[in-house]
C-alpha cells in the first residue's frame, strides 16, 4: 500500500490548490475530489511511483501552467484519470480513445520555405524534439550511475555524426560558470535551477550526466540529461524553416539508426512532461511583432490562440519578453504528424506577420 504520509500530502495538496485563487494550472482543474480518491492509493508496478510524484511540482509551484510530470512511463497508464484530461486540454482535444499516428512522419522538409523572406520580423528559428532512451527510467528514478551511463551512451553515439552534424560534447561537469552562462544567454543551453523540474525530482545529482553536444556553428545541438534524456535541436538565424527542419530530420534519422527510444502505441514518444508527448516537436521562431504585441504578452497570446500557437518570453518558458522579442511555437504535439506540427507553426507565423503588416 501507499505510505499514509504520501496520501496525506496528496489530500493536503488538493486542498491547497482548490483554496488558492491565484492558481490556474491544468492540475488544479483536473485534480478533482473523485480523481484524488480514486488515485491516492495507487502506485506504478515497476518503480512504486505515486500520485504525489505526479503532482508535487504543481502543488509546490501553484503558478504552473500544467503542474504534472510522469515519474515513470507507467504513470501515464496508472494515473490516466488525471493525465488524460490534461493531455486532452493541452493537445487540442486528444481524447482518451485517440491514438497518436503510429509511425513518426517527418515528411519532406523541402515543402517548407522561409516564413519571413524579407527578414523583417523573425530573428531566428528553432525546432526541437525530445527523446527518452529506452534502457533508462525517467528523471525521478535515475540513479547517479544512470546519469553517467546516459551521458556516456549519448556522447559516444554522437561521435559518429558527420558533415554538418559533426560536433563536440561538452559536459556540464567542469564547464566554467562563464561558458555555461554565455551558452544560456545565447539560447543554446538549458537553464539551471528550474524550480518546476526541481520539485519534480528531476535535478538530482546535478550536474552529473548533464551536458550539451553541438557543431561548431551551433546549428545542431543535443541536450543531455535535462528534462528529457535527450533534446535534439536544430536552429539558425532567420526564418528558413526548410533548412532548420531539414537538419533536424537528418539528425533524428541518423540518431535513430543507433539508439532505441521509449515509444507508446497510444501516446507516441514518451517524455517526462505530458505537454511533450506524441511528436515531441516544438517548432518556434524568435519574432518581433510590435503592433500585435502592443498590449503585452497576454494580448499577443490571445491572437496566437487562433492558430494554436504558444507565446513565451525571450529566454523560453516562464521568462519575460526582452526588447519585444517573443518565442512563438506550435502548442500541440500529439495527434498530428511531425510534419503537421511544423506546418502549424509555419502557417500561424505567416498569418501573424500578415496581421502585423496590416497594422503598420
Ligand atoms: P524547450 O524548447 O525545451 O521547450 P525553453 O522554452 O526553455 O525550452 O527554451 C529553450 C531555449 O531555447 C531558450 O534559451 C529559448 O530562448 C531558446 N529558443 C527557443 N526558441 C528559439 C528560437 N526560435 N530562436 C532562438 N532561441 C530559441
Ligand atoms: C508548468 O506547469 O508550468 C511547468 N511544469 C512546465 C509545463 C510545460 N509547459 C508547456 O506549456 N509546454
Q: Identify whether the C-beta of residue 174 lies closer than 8 Å to the C-beta of residue 209.
A: no
Q: Identify whether the C-beta of residue 30 lies closer than 8 Å to the C-beta of residue 42.
A: no
Q: Which helix (H) or strand (E) holds 282?
A: strand 282-288
CATH topology of domain 4-71: Transferase Creatine Kinase; Chain A, domain 1 (1.10.135)
Tell me, what's the pLDDT at 44?
A: 98
Residue in 218, 215, 48 with CA at minimum distance from that of residue 126: 218
CA 254, 255, 258, 264: dihedral to nearest 10 degrees?
-120
Q: Identify whether the C-beta of residue 269 lies closer than 8 Å to the C-beta of residue 278.
A: yes
Residue with the smallest CA separation from ligand 1 atom 8 is: 316
Residue with the smallest CA separation from ligand 1 atom 14 is: 187
Residue with the smallest CA separation from ligand 2 atom 5 is: 67
Instruction: Compute the distance from residue 67 Cα to the ligand 2 centre, in Å.
Output: 7
List where CATH 3.30.590.10 sits in the chain: 115-359
Q: Identify whether the C-beta of residue 67 lies closer than 8 Å to the C-beta of residue 58.
A: yes
Residue in 258, 228, 233 with CA at minimum distance from that of residue 73: 228
- Listing from the earlier edge strand, what are the strands of the sheet with 325-330? 167-171, 211-215, 220-224, 230-237, 122-131, 282-288, 325-330, 309-312
**Of the bound ligands, which one is closest to the alpha carbon of residue 333?**
2
Q: From CA 353, how far away is CA 41, in angstroms rounded?
A: 50
Instruction: Compute the distance from residue 285 Cα to the ligand 1 centre, in Å.
Output: 9
- The domain 115-359 is placed in CATH, from the list 3.40.50.720, 3.30.590.10, 3.90.550.10, 2.40.170.20, at 3.30.590.10
State the closest ligand 2 atom to the C-alpha of 200, by its place in the atom list counted from 1: 5
Tell me, what's the pLDDT at 103?
A: 79
Tell me, what's the pLDDT at 213?
A: 99
pLDDT in tens, the chain (360 residues): 899 999 999 999 999 999 999 999 999 999 999 999 999 999 999 999 999 999 999 999 999 999 999 999 999 999 999 999 999 999 999 999 999 998 789 999 999 999 999 999 999 999 999 999 999 999 999 999 999 999 999 999 999 999 999 999 999 999 999 999 999 999 999 999 999 999 999 999 999 999 999 999 999 999 999 999 999 999 999 999 999 999 999 999 999 999 999 999 999 999 999 999 999 999 999 999 999 999 999 999 999 999 999 999 999 999 999 999 999 999 999 999 999 999 999 999 999 999 999 999
Instruction: Compute the distance from residue 194 Cα to the ligand 1 centre, in Å.
Output: 14
List where CATH 1.10.135.10 sits in the chain: 4-71
- Catalytically active residues are 128, 227, 231, 273, 275, 282, 312, 317
Q: From CA 156, how far away is CA 32, in angstroms rounded?
A: 46
Tell me, what's the pLDDT at 156?
A: 98
DSSP assignment of 140-170: GG--HHHHHHHHHHHHHHHTT--GGG-EEEE
**Of the bound ligands, which one is closest to the alpha carbon of residue 319?**
1
Q: Against a cut of 0.95, is the pTM above it?
A: yes
Give backbone dihedrals phi and psi of 353, rounded to 5 degrees, phi first: -65, -40
Which of the listed residues 57, 59, 64, 231 should we mutate to test ligand 2's pocket, taking the one with most ligand atoms within 8 A of CB? 64
**Is any ligand 2 atom within 6 A of the Cβ of residue 56?**
no
ipTM of predicted assembly, 2 dp: 0.98
**Is any ligand 1 atom within 6 A of the Cβ of residue 142?**
no
Instruction: Compute the distance from residue 10 Cα to the ligand 1 centre, in Å.
Output: 33
Tell me, what's the pLDDT at 101?
A: 92
**If you search the block for the grid coordinates 518503480, which residue do you land on?**
47
Amino acid at each position: 500500500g501507499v505510505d499514509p504520509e504520501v496520501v496525506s500530502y496528496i489530500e493536503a495538496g488538493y486542498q491547497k490548490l482548490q483554496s488558492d485563487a491565484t492558481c490556474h494550472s491544468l492540475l488544479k482543474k483536473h485534480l478533482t475530489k473523485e480523481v484524488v480518491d480514486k488515485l491516492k492509493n495507487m502506485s506504478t508496478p515497476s518503480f512504486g511511483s505515486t500520485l504525489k510524484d505526479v503532482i508535487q511540482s504543481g502543488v509546490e509551484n501553484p503558478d504552473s501552467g500544467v503542474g504534472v510530470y510522469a515519474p515513470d512511463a507507467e504513470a501515464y497508464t496508472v494515473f490516466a484519470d488525471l493525465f488524460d484530461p490534461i493531455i486532452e486540454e493541452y493537445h487540442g482535444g486528444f481524447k482518451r480513445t485517440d491514438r497518436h499516428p503510429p509511425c513518426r512522419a517527418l515528411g519532406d522538409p523541402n515543402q517548407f520555405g522561409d516564413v519571413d523572406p524579407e527578414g523583417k520580423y523573425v530573428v531566428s528559428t528553432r525546432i526541437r524534439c525530445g527523446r527518452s532512451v529506452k534502457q533508462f527510467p525517467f528523471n525521478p528514478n535515475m540513479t547517479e550511475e544512470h546519469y553517467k551511463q546516459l551521458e556516456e551512451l549519448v556522447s559516444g553515439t554522437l561521435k559518429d555524426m558527420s558533415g554538418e552534424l559533426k560536433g563536440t560534447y561538452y559536459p556540464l561537469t567542469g564547464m566554467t560558470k562563464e561558458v555555461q552562462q554565455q551558452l544560456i544567454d545565447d539560447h543554446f543551453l538549458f537553464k539551471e535551477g528550474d524550480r518546476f523540474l526541481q520539485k519534480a525530482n528531476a535535478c538530482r545529482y546535478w550536474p552529473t550526466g548533464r551536458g550539451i553536444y553541438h557543431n561548431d556553428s551551433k546549428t545542431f545541438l543535443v541536450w543531455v540529461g535535462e528534462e528529457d534524456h535527450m533534446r535534439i535541436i536544430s536552429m539558425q538565424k532567420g526564418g528558413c524553416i526548410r533548412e532548420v527542419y531539414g537538419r533536424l530530420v537528418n539528425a533524428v534519422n541518423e540518431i535513430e539508426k543507433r539508439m532505441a527510444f521509449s515509444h507508446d502505441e497510444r501516446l507516441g514518444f514518451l517524455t517526462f512532461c505530458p505537454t511533450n508527448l506524441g511528436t515531441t516537436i516544438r517548432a518556434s521562431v524568435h519574432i518581433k511583432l510590435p503592433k500585435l504585441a502592443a498590449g503585452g504578452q497576454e494580448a499577443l497570446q490571445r491572437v496566437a490562440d487562433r492558430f494554436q500557437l504558444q507565446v513565451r518570453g525571450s529566454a523560453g518558458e516562464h521568462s519575460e519578453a526582452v526588447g519585444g522579442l517573443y518565442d512563438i511555437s506550435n502548442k500541440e504535439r500529439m495527434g498530428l504528424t511531425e510534419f503537421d506540427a511544423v506546418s502549424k507553426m509555419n502557417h500561424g507565423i505567416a498569418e501573424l506577420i500578415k496581421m502585423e503588416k496590416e497594422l503598420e
